Every structure is written in structure tokens, then in C-alpha cells.
A and B are shown apart, each in its own frame.
Chain A
């Protein structure tokens, strides 16, 4: 939808970020191709947390071999209208969830996070399929989520490591 430029100046400046959010790329998943090997989980935690630990991964693969059905791959959908971002903004004024200028990723700045959990509660995928997780840093339980490996020129590491090609990175421009 074309933006109606005439509307913007009439809004107060504090509301402006609501309208000017850059779109984000996204990791698209195809559970039919997923091998349930969990390489994405360890690759993610290795890159972001310097250890191999699925509990610290931003992407999660849930499956039970005794229950029919495809694996459930949970990763942030990088919404056009990110409820997590707005919840943080509304609560704190200066949000700890930021928008990466290169990829558009909605990511948590860990040093700014106040550990309130508003973002996770606001996320439309919560509570059934959470994509915003918490971890302990010092005494704080801060939140973390997919940042599309914004600092990695090659793109998201989970996409690169996936042997089944179940994950695809779609850029903001390529997104429908």
C-alpha cells in the first residue's frame, strides 16, 4: 500500500517510529524438508553465545518421533508490525528492541534490555510457540530472539548450515 505522505506530519513526533519502521528480511521454514538434526540450534548458539547449547538458540526445532507430524520449527517472523518492539517502546520510551538498518531485523540490544518480558508477552506467537526466549546474564533474566545474524555478511548461519535446505533467508525486498 502506498504511504499517504500527507498524514505523517500531522502526527506527534513520539508516534513517528510506528509509521516509519523499515521492513525486515525473514527466515522462511519448510518443515517438510527439515531433517530434525538440530544443526541450526547449535550453530545459532555457537555464533551468538559462544557455546553449543540448544537452550540458547534463537531457532528451535521441536519434534517427537513417537508423535506423527512434521517438526515444529520456531523462529521469529520479523513482523512488519512487531508487537515486541512496540511493547518495549511503549513501556520504556527508549526501546531495547532495535531495528537493524541492513537487514531490518528486530533484535534485542542486550545491554539495554530491562528484563521486563513485555516483548515476549506481546509476541503473537506466545505462549504456544515462543520465539523470544530468556537467559541469565549476571543476575538479570534478559530476553533474546533471532536477529537474522545481522552482523554476519554471509547472512543467517542457520540457513547456511541446514543440510536439508529447510531454511531460506528472504530479504526485506524479496518478502511478499
Chain B
């Protein structure tokens, strides 16, 4: 493939060496279509260049900020960015990923790049200015110390109002392991602590502006596909919970609310921006990050806290679902009672899961967030690294067993309720076995790209699921599951560990699709749909991603071929995890062990004895050696990853052929 023929991809990836203060480009064509784009290319370059033993904060760590062939196009969900690298929040730090919505990704694409790879460490604070095929490293002395809001405003004043900015806040500058990369007021690469990786490289921000657009191979076909997909919308309509928010907006914010989404997406999701809401500490705050908070508090305090996390560049999810519940548990067990004189609120009964967490006040949130972002005192200094690291350092380690109840510590990331999770509700046993299987083999909580669609489909479409009632009959659902996953039992609600393939096959299918979402780059709230209310047989067009890819890039690719691409990316990430970080079945099993507390929904506990054979089945279906969890040569070669098999073999980490 030559440069002139590239559609979809811009053809250039920016490489920035901050130690040498040098900017260069590599051709995207060297990696595509084999590695698709986004995470796929990041994984390939990381496999080639990131050697074992690189610390998250060392200059050798590479920060991948990638977009894909569909970014910035009409394909719904095309506003996202993938961030990857050795993630400091993970424990121990491993190669992992995160993502950002909003408008930045498309702007990077319009500026003529398929991604930015940052290496090294600048001598003094710098930012990157990227515009229409050019990139410059610039002095950021005046930006250092600013929040992400101030940084954005300042860069817009310098480079024009249409400039899009990602930046790290004071938390990232202080290498907080829960620092995020923030864009606008409500989108961030939250999990992984990549804001601290920016901080460790003295990279304050990346400002982009582009006017070049994305070339499309078959515009008519892409348009027709997108209009068809947009008809799918989110059907059946979102559950009650989503509509409840609408009333809340009108009541609490009135004219200070406007609708606002990520760029280039039609799915009703985080679609609100609060403007000039008076807070407790500041006169008026803006934030679009109002979703996903685990504690309850007043409206004003909530908006203010979310604006503060965005401005400081903190991972709000970790604080809401990990730290606050954990601090309350610590108080219940007499380890701490006040932070700077402000009491930690606790509920009457002992906290068993996240539902039991007591409401918190604005004053408490203010104190807590400031302490974390600025590493104030021993408490703030410890909490800035996330609950997981803090639990070992504070209170003589006595808080660690408490954290285990809500927190798989292997990742340093609080979970989506133990994997027992879905949008607008939570899946019941045995359906949560699918996200649990995904968790067990991943380098992070896979709810970023792979979990949503399965849990959401189960919740919304099945005729009966916990308290939910969906529009499909079991006959229809079985027929669709047979076609899509290859097993009719995937939608079987019988609470049993029988039919392990009924859990393993959807886990594999959605994980591979998740890798495609991260490589194309799209959003997992939009892809891949399984059920549909618009077709006779209730099966959604599962080939939509490959059709979009073909129309946009001109590389005709079937659904099967593109799925192989997703599997290739997944296996490559697994290989990095194995080679660089010692991942194995043993480690997977540690993750499984950390997921054994009663499920949020039905109180069922993961039964490890019955789960073990299910994991065996999973490995076999993956083409991995069940004894070690290593991929086999046959599998890697089928995925055109022969060079990966050779290297793993040399290390003695290749899976034995499955009999």
C-alpha cells in the first residue's frame, strides 16, 4: 500500500522524543491493515520496543495516544482516543490502556495524524502544539501548576478558540497514580494513571487544531451505513434510570444545563453539561462529568466535586467507587475518623458493598480532593496513589483487608461491582460470569471496551432478568446467540456453572470486539450490538464494524477477517503481559480470587472450584494452554503473529499444543 492510496488513516504517526526534544513521523502503512490502528498499532510498537522492566515513570515508558481509521468520521462513536502505556495505577504497573471521549481525537485526525507516541522526559515543562501536519514542542513554564481548565483556556487564547486540548492537572504533575488525562470539562482517560505518565515526562498538554479532514474510500456507502446505524439508536429505549436524570437536570440546574455529548456519536450516554453551578468553595463551576459517582451528596456538592476532579486531573471513578467507600470502612473499623477536622461520614450498618456507602458532604469532598491532588500531608500523599497503594501504606496496612471486599488489588483499580455490572442495572448470576472471565485475563477492568455490550444486551432484551423485562422471547434470543456466539445457552438464565462455553464464548467474542473498538477507534457503548428491534429475527448487524471499516478505508474486509484482527490485538496484548510482566494462569487465578465477594445484585459468590473448569474451557477456546495461560504457536501463527511465538518460545513462555 502506498501513501497516496490511504483512506481512513491519515498515513502518519507522530513520534515525540522529549529527552532529545525531537519530533518525527512514522508511516501508518507499515502497520495496517494488519494491526488496524489505535490500540492495535500501539500494541505492535510496544511489543517491538518496550522491553521488560520498564517502570511507568521511567523516561523509556512510552505514552501512546492513538486514534484509528474511523476516528473523526460519521461512524457513531468515532470521537474517541485510546491511551496506552505502562500504567502506574496498576499494581504492579503493567502495559494497559484507557480512553478519552470528546472532540480531541477527531481534531488530531484532522490535523493529519493517526496517533502520537511520546517517549523520554523533557528537561523542563513543555507542551506539544500539533496543527495540520506539523508538530512543535513548546515551553510550558506558564502552564505548569495550572488545572486542566486553566491550561485549556490558556492554550485556546494562544492558538485560537477551536484548539482542542488534553492535559494533566496538578495531580499528574505530582505523579499521583490516579491522575487522569483530561480534555474539556468531562472527558478523561481515567483508569491507569496516564496523567501521571504525562507528568513524569514533563509534558503538560497536547494542543491540536486540524483542518485537513479524513479521506473516505467509498463516501456513499459509508454515509448509507451510518444513516442505517443511526436508525438503530438505542433500542429498546433506555431503562427508567436514564430518564430519571432528565428530571433532575431540569429541577436542579434549569437554564444552567445544556445537552452535550462526545463528538460524532448518536448514542444517548453522558449527554449533559452543567454551567456556572454555584459550588461550596467556588462561585461557579462547569462540568460535563456528572455521571458515575458512587456516593450520594447534594447536587451542588456533586457538580463541584466532579469539576474539581476534572480540573485537578483526578480519576473520579477511583475516588467515588474505591476511596470513599474504603475510607468509610476504615472509620467503621476505627482506623481514622476525620480528615483535616472534617468527619468521614459513615452509615449505621457495616458496609458490605457499594450500596451501603453513606452520603457525603461538600466540605468532605473538598477537603479530600484537595489533599489528594496536592499530596497534602501523609494522608494526601498516600491517597494520591489510589486506595490500593494507600491501603498498604496507611494505618499499618490494616485497611488492606477491608479494601479487598470492594477492590481487586491486582489492578489497583476499583471494579464495576466485581464485574457484576451493566448500564442502568446489574447482571445476575450466571450472566456476570462473562465479565468476570474477561476481568481474569485482562490487564484492567474491561468495562472500558469489552463488557458493556454483553451486560447491556442481557439487561435490556432478555424477557426476564432479575427485575428487568425485555422485549425478546427466549426462542428469539437463543437463535441469535447460536448465530453470534455459537451457543444458544449464552442467554440461558439458569443459575449454574454448566455449559462453560456458554460463558466463555461471549466473553471471547466481546473481548475481541472490544479490541476492534479500541483499534478502529469507536466507542463500546455503540459497538457491537447483538440484538436489534429493527430486524425480523432480532439479530443486529454484527458485521457493521467490518462494513464501516471497508467503506472508510477501501480495504475490503469481512466480519470474520476483522474479528481475526481483534483477536490478533488481544493476543498481542496478552503476549506483552506474559513477556514483560510475567502474566500467567497463576496471575489470572489471583484476579479470580480477588473477585470473590457477594455480587451486588443477587448476593451470589463466585465459586472458585466450579469456576476453574470454566477457565480451562476459556483457555482452550482461546487457543491458549490451560496449564499456563500462554497462547500456543498454532494460535499465534493462525493470527500471523509468528514472530511473537518465536520470542515467547525463546523465553519458554509458549503454550503447549492443546490435545
Contact = CB atoms under 8 A, between A and B. Distances in A.
Nearest to B102: A65
Given A35-B271, A163-B230, A164-B259, A42 B266 contact: no
B222 interface: yes
Interface in B167-224: 184-186, 211-216, 219, 222-223
A36 interface: yes
A34 interface: yes
A160 interface: yes
A65 B184 contact: yes
Contact of B264 (A37, A51, A56, A69): A37
B259 A33 contact: yes
A70 B258 CA distance: 7
A45 interface: yes
Contacts of A79: none
Query: In terms of DSSP, what is the predominant structure of the interface of chain A?
Result: loop
Given A35-B261, A36-B259, 8 more contacts: A35-B259, A37-B265, A39-B230, A45-B213, A49-B213, A50-B219, A66-B184, A163-B268
B266 A37 contact: yes
A56 B215 CA distance: 12
A157 interface: yes
Contact-residue size bin, chain A (C-beta under 8 Å from the other chain): 20 to 34
Interface residues of B, number: 47
B324 interface: no
Contact of A38 (B230, B258, B263): B263
B333 interface: no
B358 interface: no
Most chain A CB atoms below 10 A, which of B185, B260, B267, B288: B260
30 contacts: A32-B258, A36-B259, A37-B264, A37-B265, A38-B106, A39-B264, A45-B213, A46-B73, A46-B216, A46-B222, A47-B223, A50-B216, A52-B72, A52-B73, A53-B212, A55-B110, A55-B211, A65-B184, A65-B286, A66-B153, A66-B286, A69-B258, A160-B227, A161-B226, A161-B227, A161-B230, A163-B230, A163-B233, A163-B267, A164-B259
A65 B260 contact: yes
Interface in A61-110: 63-66, 68-71
Given A51-B216, A52-B74, A68-B276, A43 B256 contact: no
Contacts of B260: 35-36, 63, 65
Contacts of A54: 110, 213
A35 B265 CA distance: 9
B397 interface: no
Nearest to B162: A62
Contacts of B273: 65
Contact of A42 (B72, B185, B256): B72
B590 to A, nearest CB: 41
